[in-house]
């Protein structure tokens, strides 16, 4: 088993990274930086119009990569793939290079008319093996079962939580239950704003097989927060 450092960035989805935040990120000596769903871009426009700005949004991620030296997952943007199909994807960036895209499989109604992805449920990067979830994909029990059967006990969840969804206490319990059931460390980075006219709130957290060990307070659901967590007990590659 090994340890991993992960930086979560709970973000205002509509605002760029500030100079002060860039400075703070430059000092974070973590393996991964997890950005929330719908950042950058904030869901301000239609999926098609946002896809036409994908290069500009990706440049925002590259700008973060200029100062942050770990791998960046973030956040969730619409784009056209090599065949011209509309996708909702998470860019994976390191050293100002686009390593890969994770095309979201479990799309929400506001993500239509994007085409669901069909790639792998787990990734290997930086000597770590982990799962990745976007938005409602965390509800996919078959994906969680597959990670468990493959002995993968780390997963990133890029999210933005509906303001009229599950209440705070129940939300924490749901994550604690998932972590316990699947023996999983779940790292959720959640943004806030009004993507596609629907209010979202930040509920970033770290849930472990023994419970939720770090979370933003209920009073911080509309606050930008950068937090690095150290996780011990990650299963190795073999």
| Per-residue pLDDT reduced to its tens digit, 66-84 | 999 999 998 899 999 999 9
pLDDT tens for each residue of 28-68: 999 999 999 999 988 888 999 999 999 999 999 999 999 99
pLDDT at 220 over 90: yes
Q: Where are the domains of the chain?
A: 2-234
**To which H or E segment does residue 207 belong?**
strand 205-208
d(CA 2, CA 195): 37
Higher per-residue confidence, 238 vs 104: 104
Say how far apart CA 1 and CA 17 lie, in whole Å.
Answer: 34
Q: Are 175 and 186 in contact (CB under 8 A)?
A: yes
Phi, psi of 178, rounded to the nearest 5 degrees: -60, -45
Is the pLDDT reported for residue 237 higher than 80?
no
Q: What is the pTM of this model?
A: 0.95
CB 78 within 8 A of CB 108: no
CATH 3.80.10.10 fits 2-234, yes or no: no
């Amino acid at each position: 088993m090994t340890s991993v450092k992960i930086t979560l960035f709970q973000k205002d989805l509509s605002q760029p990274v500030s100079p002060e935040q860039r400075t703070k990120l430059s000092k974070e000596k973590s393996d991964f930086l997890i950005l929330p769903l719908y950042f950058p871009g904030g869901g301000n426009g239609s999926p098609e119009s946002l896809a036409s700005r994908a290069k500009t949004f990706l440049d925002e991620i590259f700008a973060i990569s200029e100062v942050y030296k770990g791998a960046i997952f973030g956040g969730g943007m619409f784009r056209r793939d090599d065949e011209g199909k509309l996708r909702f994807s998470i860019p994976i960036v390191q050293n100002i290079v686009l390593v890969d895209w994770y095309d979201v499989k479990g799309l929400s109604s506001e993500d239509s008319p994007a085409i669901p992805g069909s790639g792998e449920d787990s990734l290997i990067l930086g000597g770590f093996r982990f799962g990745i979830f976007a938005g409602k994909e965390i509800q996919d029990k078959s994906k969680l079962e597959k990670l468990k059967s493959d002995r993968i006990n780390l997963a990133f969840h890029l999210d933005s939580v509906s303001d009229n969804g599950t209440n705070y206490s129940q939300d924490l319990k749901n994550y604690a239950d998932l972590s316990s059931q699947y023996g999983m460390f779940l790292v959720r980075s959640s943004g806030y704003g009004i993507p596609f006219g629907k209010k979202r709130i930040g509920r970033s957290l770290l849930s472990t097989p023994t419970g939720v060990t770090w979370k933003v307070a209920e009073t911080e659901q509309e606050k930008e927060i950068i937090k690095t967590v150290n996780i011990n007990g990650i299963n190795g590659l073999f």
